[in-house]
A and B are shown apart, each in its own frame.
Chain A
Amino acid sequence: MKSLLKFITCGSVDDGKSTLIGHMLYEAKLLFADQERALELDSRLGSRGGKIDYSLLLDGLLAEREQGITIDVAYRYFTTDHRSFIVADTPGHEEYTRNMAVGASFADLAVILVDATKGIITQTKRHTRICALMGIKHLVLAVNKMDLVDFDTDKFDAIKEEFSRITTEFQFESIQVIPVSATEGDNITTKSPNTPWYQGLALLPYLESVEVHASDDAKPFMMPIQRVCRPDHTFRGFQGQIEAGSIAVGDELITLPSHEKAKVKRILVTDQDRNSAHAGQPVTIQLDREVDVSRGCVFTKDNQLQEADSFSSTILWMDDSVLTPGKDVLVKVGTKVLPGTVTAIKHKIDINTGNTVTADQLVKNELAVCEISLSDGIVFDSFEKNKSIGGFILIDRVTNMTSACGVIDEALQSSDNSGRMDTEITRDVRAQQKGQQPLTIWLSGSVADNTAIAKAVERRLVARGYHTMLIDNSAGESVRQLAAYAALLNDAGLLALVPAGSANESDLAIAKEMIGQAFLPIEAAINSNLIEEAAKDIVKRVVKALIQDSYTI
């Protein structure tokens, strides 16, 4: 069966971009007869005096026809004997950068046009940068209007060399440079006799054969949850598209951010039962046990993903309004939407040159490194590894406009170390000074019981010479909040006592994740007249835990 190649064309009006695609469709006999008639009819009205203007095939909107430019993305579809294609024709002007980014975000490959008479120009560099930012891995540089430079191989080589210089800063997987003439048809569908010195394929045969789908199947399994499917009380399945790797019935997977483990009981690929499924397939997964998972959560097999509630990112601002730090937005990453704030603009990146420019605000079509903080943690991965949870959009909370798109560069401080400064005085130093190892005694049961028991436990621990702190949970703090407090106390070298109240497995998993090795969960729901007995028992367990880990007392 044929595969599908999604590509874009970029270049300016004068580079003959629409003409190139139009000509390719025409030459490859991929036009329907009535479109061809309409084209000839339209051409008679236009400026080329009766000669076919191939660009009319693509410039669809009335405003564009009137202005003679491409202002939005137009999609065209064609199939050859070897492949199906979707081509997005994107505008070249700097003021339409965001429209180009829309086209680029959808494509696997970009055909960038340059005019052989002008060579590499500023916009060529800009287009290359946008393609790289949006995740395109494969480029074709079509050096157009070769007929106007008499198919001069030196001119071509110079352009090729310069292009290879400007692309070194990006991680493109393939780059093919092809000499063409869009109006005359050289190297469009067949090799041109005018360029005997060019060893590669003509444009269309190249597009038919280039390999762009680096196997997503080989990556670790990852699937963001789109929705929970519950037709009745007997069925609960998680629906989404597998974005990387594969999964089989019986495999164990990890749910994020709840960090639960469960085995796959059943896999439906659309409406068919399957033993396994792979990247790109829409599935419904049933697990062998109840898990705390809803839309926006992520399934993984070997958890190499990251979690954070603030990150540094490279964004393209696309809104007519001006971005200043402190802007409240909605952030969509994968299938998760949550409130956030653009906390800082670190610096702008000149979209043409890549140079760093200091800035305290951004206007439309500008690129910048920004810090964004979120109301809660998200699961993400680097954009290079997983486009689907490494890219994000920012939505204006008033106008609902998609104001920016961006890629996550790295997590900033994670949610479990808030309030702490990084200094050379480490947890170990502080603990040693107190002659003890830090521990979080996480009591579950009812908060009231827990608090009473915790008080008794603390009294006994202090009597034994331990440094402790009891957290007040009378207000019913969230698990994350409690765990963050406890971790902070542990960092101070203290034994933290947390009357956590009723805790389910996922809460415990979160606490364990945030507190780490120092985590000691104890079920402590008991009759109130036995508080001292329980406390005594708990102290024994605490001391045992400390000794087992060969802690010095």
Chain B
Amino acid sequence: MEKLTLDSIDATTHLDQLEAEAIYIIREVAAECENPVMLYSIGKDSSVMLHLALKAFYPEKPPFPFLHIDTTWKFKEMIEFRDRKAKEFGIKMLVHSNQEGIEQGINPFDHGSAYTDIMKTQALKQGLDKYGFTAAFGGGRRDEEKSRAKERIFSFRNKNHAWDPKNQRPEMWKLFNTRINKGESIRVFPISNWTEKDIWQYIRRENIDIVPLYFAKERPVVNRDGQMIMVDDERMKLQPGEKIETAKMRFRTLGCYPLTGGAPSEADTLDAIIEETLGAVSSERTTRVIDQEEAGSMERRKREGYF
């Protein structure tokens, strides 16, 4: 006989509702889609997504692989964390990089927005095409950016992985339509309705392990255009006048280290991070350099196939 835990007479909280919604979506995709994959970016949203996938199918392992698009410019601690988690949970972790981009020496210092296109957008398309994935889970949230606020949970892509915001399928109740024609694919966003605060509260409630870079620590940084950029390895190119300083700081989002700005912080525990987030004066994506370029830049990028 199994050991049963005592039930607490708990009212359903908003986190329970969000978790149930996400698990429902993840199960629907696993049941209806031919060849799904979960994109894994190693950030806190991905940690939550992985956690939800483990819970959704328990005691079975998630019946799909995970895919990390590696630009080769991620923080070292991220890669180490990725490999450790894959081993710990016994999941299949695929890693794809754009080899042509690597051979051409594409890097974030010299190639600006072309870098994002080649090493992220193109690499993602290559990775999905290589394995013939028909549905890809992403951790996008509608509170992150205005064009995402209008995207459906099931977002359809044509053969070129492009999104057509004017022709989105109606999404009624919980009756998700997962049918696609050959060559088309779906991006699925199970945590569309979560806010950054929900993510942090859920991480605390569920004791989810996240990359240490989220916690404040003394790190070597340079100040560039008002953002703290961490010097993660010797490839970091310093601009005239820049010098490496040590500062107690942390990251609110994680990406490629030369493009991810951190902020000074004393928050070295989850509670302190949540405290800081609740009182935050900047919404999350201000620290991602590309979003600030111009109004509508994200929508344009997505139409071209950015996740």
Tell me, yes or no, whether B160 is within 8 Å of chain A by CB. Answer: no
A1 CA / B173 CA spacing, docked (Å): 25
Known contacts A62-B296, A231-B61, A332-B177, A276 near B165 by CB under 8 Å: no
Known contacts A2-B14, A3-B13, A34 near B59 by CB under 8 Å: no
Q: Report the nearest B residue to A387, measured CB to CB.
A: B173
Q: Report the nearest B residue to A216, measured CB to CB.
A: B12
The residues of B that contact A402 with a CB separation of less than 8 Å are 169-172, 177
A230 CA / B179 CA spacing, docked (Å): 25
Within 8 A of B (CB), among A63-84: 63, 65, 71-77, 79, 84
Residues B150 and A395 in contact, CB atoms below 8 Å apart? no
Tell me, yes or no, whether A268 is within 8 Å of chain B by CB. Answer: yes
Tell me, yes or no, whether A318 is within 8 Å of chain B by CB. Answer: yes
Complex partner residue of B179 from A84, A239, A266, A330, CB under 8 angstroms: A330
Complex partner residue of B283 from A34, A102, A275, CB under 8 angstroms: A34
Tell me, yes or no, whether A529 is within 8 Å of chain B by CB. Answer: no
Residues A391 and B172 in contact, CB atoms below 8 Å apart? yes
Tell me, yes or no, whether A400 is within 8 Å of chain B by CB. Answer: yes
Q: Report the nearest B residue to A83, measured CB to CB.
A: B14
Known contacts A32-B283, A73-B150, A401-B169, A281 near B20 by CB under 8 Å: yes
The residues of B that contact A395 with a CB separation of less than 8 Å are 177, 179
Residues B165 and A72 in contact, CB atoms below 8 Å apart? yes
Tell me, yes or no, whether A40 is within 8 Å of chain B by CB. Answer: no
Q: Report the nearest A residue to B193, measured CB to CB.
A: A86
Residues B58 and A102 in contact, CB atoms below 8 Å apart? no
Residues B2 and A280 in contact, CB atoms below 8 Å apart? no
The residues of B that contact A482 with a CB separation of less than 8 Å are none
Residues B166 and A275 in contact, CB atoms below 8 Å apart? no
Known contacts A32-B281, A271-B55, A274-B5, A61 near B60 by CB under 8 Å: no
A274 CA / B197 CA spacing, docked (Å): 28
A257 CA / B198 CA spacing, docked (Å): 39
The residues of B that contact A2 with a CB separation of less than 8 Å are 13-14
Known contacts A273-B3, A282-B24, A60 near B170 by CB under 8 Å: no
Residues B146 and A295 in contact, CB atoms below 8 Å apart? no
The residues of B that contact A99 with a CB separation of less than 8 Å are 170
Known contacts A61-B299, A275-B7, A295-B31, A72 near B168 by CB under 8 Å: yes
Residues B150 and A60 in contact, CB atoms below 8 Å apart? yes
Tell me, yes or no, whether A417 is within 8 Å of chain B by CB. Answer: no
Interface size on A, residues (CB 8 A): 74
Residues B193 and A249 in contact, CB atoms below 8 Å apart? no
The residues of A that contact B235 with a CB separation of less than 8 Å are none
Residues A332 and B281 in contact, CB atoms below 8 Å apart? no
Q: Report the nearest A residue to B63, measured CB to CB.
A: A227
- Interface flags for A380-402 (1: CB within 8 Å of B; 0: not) read 00000001100111010000111
A229 CA / B57 CA spacing, docked (Å): 7
Residues B5 and A3 in contact, CB atoms below 8 Å apart? no
The residues of B that contact A1 with a CB separation of less than 8 Å are 11, 13-15
The residues of A that contact B57 with a CB separation of less than 8 Å are 229, 239
Most buried by A among B12, B23, B180: B12
A271 CA / B7 CA spacing, docked (Å): 14
Residues B171 and A335 in contact, CB atoms below 8 Å apart? no
Tell me, yes or no, whether A511 is within 8 Å of chain B by CB. Answer: no
Residues A274 and B172 in contact, CB atoms below 8 Å apart? no
Residues A42 and B20 in contact, CB atoms below 8 Å apart? no
The residues of A that contact B54 with a CB separation of less than 8 Å are 271
A295 CA / B175 CA spacing, docked (Å): 14
Most buried by B among A73, A282, A335: A282
Min Cβ gap A367→B in Å is 14
Residues B172 and A270 in contact, CB atoms below 8 Å apart? no
Residues A274 and B4 in contact, CB atoms below 8 Å apart? yes
Q: Report the nearest B residue to A333, measured CB to CB.
A: B175
The residues of A that contact B146 with a CB separation of less than 8 Å are 60-61, 74
Within 8 A of B (CB), among A88-129: 98-99, 101-102, 105-106
Tell me, yes or no, whether B129 is within 8 Å of chain A by CB. Answer: no
Tell me, yes or no, whether B17 is within 8 Å of chain A by CB. Answer: yes
Residues B172 and A42 in contact, CB atoms below 8 Å apart? no
Within 8 A of A (CB), among B169-216: 169-175, 177, 179-181, 192-193, 195, 197-198
Residues B177 and A276 in contact, CB atoms below 8 Å apart? no
- Interface flags for A203-230 (1: CB within 8 Å of B; 0: not) read 0000000000000000000000011011
Residues A393 and B177 in contact, CB atoms below 8 Å apart? yes
Tell me, yes or no, whether A324 is within 8 Å of chain B by CB. Answer: no
- Interface flags for B146-178 (1: CB within 8 Å of A; 0: not) read 110110000000000000011011111111010
Interface size on B, residues (CB 8 A): 65
Residues B173 and A391 in contact, CB atoms below 8 Å apart? yes
Q: Report the nearest B residue to A224, measured CB to CB.
A: B174
Tell me, yes or no, whether B282 is within 8 Å of chain A by CB. Answer: yes
Tell me, yes or no, whether B70 is within 8 Å of chain A by CB. Answer: no
A64 CA / B61 CA spacing, docked (Å): 43
Complex partner residue of B197 from A33, A79, A134, CB under 8 angstroms: A79
Tell me, yes or no, whether B30 is within 8 Å of chain A by CB. Answer: yes
Q: Report the nearest A residue to B206, measured CB to CB.
A: A270
Q: Report the nearest B residue to A278, measured CB to CB.
A: B12
The residues of B that contact A227 with a CB separation of less than 8 Å are 27, 30-31
A367 CA / B146 CA spacing, docked (Å): 31
Complex partner residue of B282 from A34, A272, A282, CB under 8 angstroms: A34
Complex partner residue of A282 from B2, B14, B20, CB under 8 angstroms: B20
The residues of A that contact B296 with a CB separation of less than 8 Å are 62, 65
Q: Report the nearest A residue to B177, measured CB to CB.
A: A402
Within 8 A of B (CB), among A408-422: none
Within 8 A of A (CB), among B255-307: 280-283, 286, 295-296, 299-300
Q: Report the nearest A residue to B23, measured CB to CB.
A: A282
A84 CA / B14 CA spacing, docked (Å): 7
Residues B147 and A60 in contact, CB atoms below 8 Å apart? yes
Tell me, yes or no, whether A178 is within 8 Å of chain B by CB. Answer: no
Residues A231 and B150 in contact, CB atoms below 8 Å apart? no
Tell me, yes or no, whether A546 is within 8 Å of chain B by CB. Answer: no
Tell me, yes or no, whether B34 is within 8 Å of chain A by CB. Answer: no
Tell me, yes or no, whether B16 is within 8 Å of chain A by CB. Answer: yes
A230 CA / B59 CA spacing, docked (Å): 8
The residues of B that contact A333 with a CB separation of less than 8 Å are 175
Min Cβ gap A128→B in Å is 19
Tell me, yes or no, whether B45 is within 8 Å of chain A by CB. Answer: no
Known contacts A98-B170, A241-B24, A402-B170, A42 near B13 by CB under 8 Å: no
Complex partner residue of A4 from B17, B32, B181, B197, CB under 8 angstroms: B17
Q: Give 24 pairs: A residue, B residue, CB < 8 Å, sorted on A.
A: A34-B283, A62-B296, A62-B299, A63-B165, A72-B168, A84-B14, A84-B198, A102-B171, A105-B171, A106-B173, A134-B173, A226-B24, A227-B27, A231-B60, A231-B61, A268-B58, A270-B19, A270-B56, A273-B2, A274-B5, A337-B32, A391-B173, A395-B179, A402-B170
Given contacts A2-B13, A272-B5, A393-B175, 14 further A-B contacts (CB under 8 A): A60-B149, A61-B146, A77-B143, A105-B171, A231-B60, A231-B61, A241-B24, A249-B4, A266-B2, A273-B5, A275-B6, A280-B17, A282-B56, A337-B32
Q: Which 3 A-B pairs have the closest CB atoms?
A: A60-B146, A4-B14, A1-B13
B residues sitting closer than 8 Å to A (CB atoms) are 2-7, 11-20, 23-24, 27-28, 30-32, 54-61, 142-143, 146-147, 149-150, 165-166, 168-175, 177, 179-181, 192-193, 195, 197-198, 280-283, 286, 295-296, 299-300
A residues sitting closer than 8 Å to B (CB atoms) are 1-4, 32-35, 38, 42, 60-63, 65, 71-77, 79, 84, 86, 98-99, 101-102, 105-106, 134-135, 226-227, 229-231, 235, 237, 239-241, 249, 266, 268, 270-276, 280-282, 284, 295, 318, 330, 332-333, 335, 337, 387-388, 391-393, 395, 400-402, 405
